[in-house]
C-alpha cells in the first residue's frame, strides 16, 4: 500500500487550476519528511510517494529517496516530470527504487499545455515520458486535468501517447479549489460536457489501439460521476484504486486515510443509486456553483447487502485488559479509516481488518459500522453465511471507547458480543405470525423462513395462505412443499390482486427486492381490507470480519446480487408515505416499529393497519 507525503507546495510551473495556489509559499523541512518516511514504514506501507507542489525541485529529493530505500520501501513521485527527462537524474532515482511516477500532461500540443501550466514545459515533459516509459520497472500514469481550454482537444493527447504501450492516460475533472475556485467560470467546463468529451477520447483511444493490433495505453478517469460515463464505470481511477491508503500534508502531525471529502453525492439524487459505492460524485465546489441537475442515475439495479473486512495483521497478542493501541500505543488514531478499518479485541489479542469494497460509499460504511453497529465475525466456513444465529457473532464497540475524547472520530475498538440477537429479534416476527387469522398474502415467499409458524396455522384453518413469488422455478418447488396454501407467480408491482381481499399482507425479507416499492405498496394496500395489517420486515446492510481464506472463498462465489436497496425502517416508512400520497383512498395507521441500532440484529420491522378513507 502507498503512503503519500506532501513535502511542500512550491513549484516551477504556474498552472491556472493549481489547487495549492494559496499555499505555494509553504515548504516542509527535510527533517519533517524524514520523520514521516519512518512513520510510513511503521504503519506497514510498502511504498512512499512524494508530492508537492513540485517535489523534484527540492534539493533534498535524493536524500529522501535514499532514506526510503534504506527502509526497504519503494519510491513514487507525483510530478510534472520535467526533471525525469534528464538521464542521470532518472538513473539516480531508479537506483533508489523509483517504481511509480504520476505525471502531468494536459494537452497533445505545446501551445495548449504550456498555456495551462504558464511555463515552457511541454518538450521536457514529453522527453520525461519517453525516459520513464523505457524503464519497465516503473509504473507510469499520465494525468490530464480537463478544463475549458483543452476539453475539445483530448484526442490530440491520445494520439501523442498511443506509441507508449505501458502507461495509463487518466482524464481528471478539474477540482474547484485554489486556482480552480478563483477562476471557476473561466476554467470549469460543465461536467456533462467533460464526461462526453472524455468518453469520446477514451473510446477513440481504445479503437486506435485495437486497429494497431498491438498493446497500447489504457484509459481511465477521475472526478466524473459514473452515471455520466455509461460503459466506462470500471475505468474509474482515484487514490484508493491506485493503492493509496494514507497521506499527510505539510505540518500535519500524522498520516490520515485518503478520502473523498471534497466530493459529495446529493442524497436526493444519488441515495438509491446502485453506482453510489464506486462513484466519486461531484466536487463540492462544483455542486455549490452549478447544482446536481446534470446527474442521471441509472434505473434501479441489484446491489450487494454486505461487505467484508479482511484480516490484515495481529496488532497485539498479549494486550493488557485496559490497553488500546489506538489511544495508548504507537498505532495512533488518525491513520486509520473510520469506515474502512476495523480493530477487534478478543481477550489479549487485537486484530486489524480492512475493507476495500467499492459496493458501498464511505458514508454508508461509516453508518453500517458506527450508527447501525451491524458488524459481525463470520465463524462459519461458508462462502455466504445462511444461518446467521450460528454463523455470525456480533461485534460491538468496546467499553474502552466509552468516554474517550476521540470516540466520534476514531475507527474504534470492537469486541465480540455473545448473544443471539438474530433469534431474539426474529422471535418478535414469529409471535406476530402465530397470531394471524384470516386471509394472508405473503409477498416474495420463496425462501419460506417462517413455514414452521405459518403451516400449522393454515392446516388448522386459522389462516388462508396465498404466496406471491416472481421466480417460476421457485413457484414449482413451493407448490410441492406447501400443499396447505396457494402459490401465485408474479411480482408485487404487477400482481392482479382483488381489492380489499386480504386480512393481512406480509412482506418478509423481500422489501429490498422490490424494484418499485411505491407501485408495489399501492397494489398491496389496495388489496387489504379495512382493519387489515401490513407487515414489512427486512434487513439493513451489514459487515463481516473474515480471514483472507474466507474472503477469497466469498469473492469466488457466483451468487448474484438481488437487492435493489438496503433500506432501514426510516427509508421504508418514507416510501410508504409516498405510496399513500398517490391515492387518497389509501390510509394506514402505524401499529409498531422496530429500528436497527447498537444491540439489535440487522432486522427492522414496520406494522400498519389499514384505516377507512377520510370522507371529504
- pLDDT for 268 equals 87
- pLDDT for 448 equals 80
Assess contact for 158 and 108: CB atoms under 8 A.
yes
Residue 556: how many other CB atoms lie within 10 Å: 8
At 303, the pLDDT band (50, 70, 90 cuts) reads: confident
Q: DSSP assignment of 434-491, as one string?
A: TT--EEEEEET-SS-TTHHHHHHHHHTTSEEEEEEES-HHHHHHHHHH-TTSEEEE--
Task: List, for residues 116-153, the tens digit of each pLDDT value.
Answer: 999 999 999 999 999 999 999 999 999 999 999 999 99
Cα(455)–Cα(509) distance, integer angstroms: 18
For residue 580, the SS3 value is helix
Q: Which three cell numbers stand for residue 178?
A: 485554489
**Is 514 part of a structural domain of the chain?**
yes
pLDDT score of 498 more than 60: yes
φ and ψ of 368, to 5 deg:
-60, -45
Among 377, 401, 419, residue at a domain's last position: 419
For residue 62, the SS3 value is helix
Q: Which three cell numbers stand for residue 518?
A: 411505491
- pLDDT for 404 equals 93
Same domain, 415 and 400: yes
Mean pLDDT of 373-391: 91
Cα(160)–Cα(334) distance, integer angstroms: 42
**Is 314 part of a structural domain of the chain?**
yes
At 608, the pLDDT band (50, 70, 90 cuts) reads: very high
- pLDDT for 584 equals 83
Cα(137)–Cα(128) distance, integer angstroms: 15
**DSSP secondary structure code for residue 327 in this structure:** T
The CATH number covering residue 562 comes to: 3.40.50.150
- What domain range is 444 assigned to? 422-541+550-610
- pLDDT for 596 equals 98
- pLDDT for 335 equals 96
Task: List, for residues 140-193, the tens digit of each pLDDT value.
Answer: 999 999 999 999 999 999 999 999 999 999 999 999 999 999 999 999 999 999
Looking at every residue in the chain, the average pLDDT score rounds to 94
- pLDDT for 396 equals 97
pLDDT score of 585 more than 90: no
pLDDT score of 83 more than 60: yes
Same domain, 337 and 483: no
Cα(180)–Cα(145) distance, integer angstroms: 11
Mean pLDDT of 79-91: 97
Placement of cell 475505468 in the chain: 235
Among 389, 419, 449, residue at a domain's last position: 419
- pLDDT for 613 equals 67
**Is 24 part of a structural domain of the chain?**
yes
Same domain, 411 and 445: no
Assess contact for 457 and 464: CB atoms under 8 A.
no
Q: Which three cell numbers stand for residue 457?
A: 396455522
Task: List, for residues 211-227, the tens digit of each pLDDT value.
Answer: 988 789 999 999 999 99
At 614, the pLDDT band (50, 70, 90 cuts) reads: low
Q: Nearest Cα to 24, choosing from 109, 118, 137?
A: 118
Task: List, for residues 240-283, the tens digit of each pLDDT value.
Answer: 999 999 999 999 999 999 987 889 999 889 988 889 999 999 99
| Cβ burial, residue 201 (10 Å; 0-12/13-18/19+) | buried
At 346, the pLDDT band (50, 70, 90 cuts) reads: very high
Mean pLDDT of 385-406: 93
**Is 299 part of a structural domain of the chain?**
no
Assess contact for 67 and 41: CB atoms under 8 A.
no
Rg of the chain in Å (alpha carbons):
28
Please report, rounded to a whole number, the percentage of residues in the chain having pLDDT higher than 90: 86
Same domain, 388 and 435: no
**Is 615 part of a structural domain of the chain?**
no
- pLDDT for 522 equals 95
Is the model more confident about 68 or about 359? 68
**Is 296 part of a structural domain of the chain?**
no
Same domain, 68 and 154: yes
Same domain, 9 and 64: yes
Mean pLDDT of 52-59: 96
Same domain, 438 and 411: no
Placement of cell 479509516 in the chain: 337
pLDDT score of 456 more than 60: yes
Same domain, 84 and 124: yes
Please report, rounded to a whole number, the percentage of residues in the chain having pLDDT higher than 70: 99
Same domain, 490 and 440: yes
For residue 506, the SS3 value is strand
Q: Which three cell numbers stand for residue 556?
A: 469466488
Same domain, 403 and 431: no
Q: Which three cell numbers stand for residue 108?
A: 497533445
Assess contact for 239 and 4: CB atoms under 8 A.
yes
Q: Which three cell numbers stand for residue 123?
A: 518538450
The CATH number covering residue 215 comes to: 3.20.20.70
- pLDDT for 561 equals 75
Q: How many domains does the chain have?
A: 3
Cα(6)–Cα(55) distance, integer angstroms: 8
- pLDDT for 386 equals 85
Task: List, for residues 501-539, the tens digit of each pLDDT value.
Answer: 999 999 999 999 999 999 999 999 999 999 999 999 999
At 385, the pLDDT band (50, 70, 90 cuts) reads: confident
φ and ψ of 542, to 5 deg:
-140, 165
Same domain, 504 and 426: yes
- pLDDT for 615 equals 54
- pLDDT for 16 equals 95
pTM higher than the cut 0.85: yes
At 557, the pLDDT band (50, 70, 90 cuts) reads: confident
**Is 59 part of a structural domain of the chain?**
yes
At 612, the pLDDT band (50, 70, 90 cuts) reads: confident
Assess contact for 561 and 357: CB atoms under 8 A.
no
Assess contact for 278 and 63: CB atoms under 8 A.
no
**Is 298 part of a structural domain of the chain?**
no
Assess contact for 224 and 195: CB atoms under 8 A.
yes
Same domain, 24 and 93: yes
**Any idea how long the chain is?**
616
Cα(47)–Cα(540) distance, integer angstroms: 37
Among 353, 388, 419, residue at a domain's last position: 419
Cα(483)–Cα(477) distance, integer angstroms: 11
First-to-last C-alpha distance (Å) of the chain: 66
Amino acid at each position: 500500500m502507498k503512503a503519500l507525503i506532501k513535502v511542500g507546495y512550491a513549484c516551477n510551473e504556474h498552472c491556472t487550476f493549481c489547487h495549492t495556489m494559496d499555499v505555494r509559499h509553504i515548504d516542509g523541512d527535510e527533517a519533517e519528511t524524514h520523520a514521516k518516511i519512518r512513520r510510513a514504514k511503521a504503519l506497514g506501507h510498502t511504498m512512499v510517494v512524494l508530492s508537492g507542489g513540485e517535489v523534484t525541485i527540492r534539493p533534498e529529493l535524493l536524500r529522501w529517496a535514499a532514506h526510503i530505500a534504506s527502509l526497504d520501501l519503494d519510491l513514487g513521485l507525483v510530478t510534472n516530470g520535467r526533471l525525469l527527462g534528464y538521464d542521470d537524474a532518472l538513473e539516480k532515482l531508479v537506483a533508489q527504487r523509483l517504481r511509480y511516477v504520476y505525471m502531468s500532461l494536459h494537452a497533445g500540443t505545446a501551445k495548449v499545455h504550456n498555456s495551462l501550466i504558464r511555463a515552457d514545459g511541454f518538450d521536457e515533459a514529453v522527453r520525461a515520458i519517453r525516459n520513464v516509459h523505457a524503464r519497465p520497472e516503473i509504473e507510469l500514469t499520465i494525468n490530464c486535468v480537463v478544463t475549458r481550454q483543452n476539453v475539445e482537444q483530448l484526442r490530440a493527447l491520445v494520439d501523442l501517447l498511443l506509441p507508449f504501450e505501458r502507461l495509463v492516460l487518466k482524464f481528471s475533472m478539474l477540482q474547484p479549489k485554489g486556482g480552480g475556485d478563483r477562476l471557476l467560470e473561466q476554467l470549469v467546463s460543465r461536467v456533462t460536457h467533460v464526461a462526453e468529451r472524455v468518453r469520446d477520447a477514451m473510446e477513440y483511444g481504445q479503437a486506435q489501439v485495437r486497429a494497431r493490433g498491438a498493446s497500447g495505453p489504457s484509459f481511465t478517469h477521475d472526478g466524473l460521476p459514473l452515471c455520466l460515463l455509461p460503459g466506462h464505470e470500471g475505468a474509474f481511477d482515484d487514490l484508493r484504486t491506485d493503492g493509496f491508503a494514507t497521506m499527510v500534508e505539510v505540518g500535519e502531525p500524522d498520516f490520515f486515510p485518503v478520502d473523498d471529502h471534497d466530493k459529495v453525492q446529493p442524497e436526493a439524487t444519488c441515495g438509491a443509486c446502485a453506482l453510489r459505492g464506486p462513484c466519486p460524485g461531484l466536487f463540492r465546489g462544483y455542486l455549490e456553483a452549478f447544482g446536481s441537475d446534470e446527474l442521471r442515475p441509472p434505473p434501479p439495479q441489484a446491489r450487494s447487502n454486505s461487505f467484508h473486512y479482511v484480516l490484515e495483521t495481529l496488532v497485539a497478542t498479549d494486550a493488557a485488559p485496559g490497553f488500546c493501541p489506538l489511544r495508548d500505543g504507537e498505532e495512533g488514531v488518525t491513520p486509520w479509516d473510520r469506515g474502512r478499518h476495523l480493530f477487534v479485541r478478543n481477550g489479549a489479542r487485537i486484530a486489524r481488518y480492512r475493507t476495500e469494497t467499492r459496493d458501498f460509499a464511505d458514508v454508508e460504511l461509516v453508518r453500517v459500522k458506527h450508527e447501525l453497529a451491524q458488524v459481525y465475525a463470520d465463524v462459519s466456513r461458508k462462502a455466504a453465511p445462511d444461518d446467521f444465529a450460528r454463523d455470525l457473532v456480533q461485534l460491538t464497540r468496546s467499553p474502552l471507547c466509552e468516554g474517550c475524547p476521540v470516540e466520534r472520530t476514531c475507527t474504534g475498538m470492537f469486541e465480540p458480543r455473545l448473544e443471539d440477537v438474530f433469534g431474539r429479534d426474529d422471535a418478535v416476527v414469529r409471535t406476530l405470525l402465530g397470531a394471524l387469522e384470516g386471509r394472508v398474502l405473503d409477498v416474495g415467499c420463496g425462501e419460506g423462513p417462517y413455514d414452521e409458524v405459518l403451516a400449522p396455522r393454515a392446516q388448522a384453518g386459522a389462516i388462508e395462505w396465498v404466496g406471491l413469488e416472481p421466480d417460476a422455478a421457485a413457484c414449482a418447488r413451493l407448490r410441492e412443499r406447501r400443499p396447505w396454501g396457494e402459490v401465485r407467480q408474479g411480482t408485487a408491482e404487477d400482481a392482479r390482486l382483488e381489492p380489499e381481499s386480504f386480512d393481512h399482507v406480509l412482506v418478509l425479507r423481500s422489501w429490498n427486492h422490490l424494484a418499485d416499492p411505491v407501485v408495489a405498496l399501492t397494489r398491496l394496500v389496495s388489496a387489504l381490507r379495512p382493519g387489515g395489517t401490513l407487515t414489512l420486515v427486512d434487513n439493513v446492510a451489514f459487515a463481516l470480519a473474515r480471514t483472507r481464506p474466507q474472503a477469497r472463498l466469498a469473492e469466488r462465489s457466483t451468487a448474484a446480487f438481488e437487492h435493489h436497496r438496503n433500506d432501514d425502517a426510516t427509508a421504508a416508512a418514507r416510501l410508504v408515505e409516498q405510496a399513500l400520497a398517490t391515492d387518497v383512498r389509501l390510509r394506514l395507521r402505524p401499529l409498531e416499529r422496530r429500528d436497527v441500532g447498537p444491540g439489535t440484529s440487522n432486522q427492522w420491522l414496520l406494522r400498519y393497519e389499514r384505516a377507512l378513507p377520510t370522507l371529504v
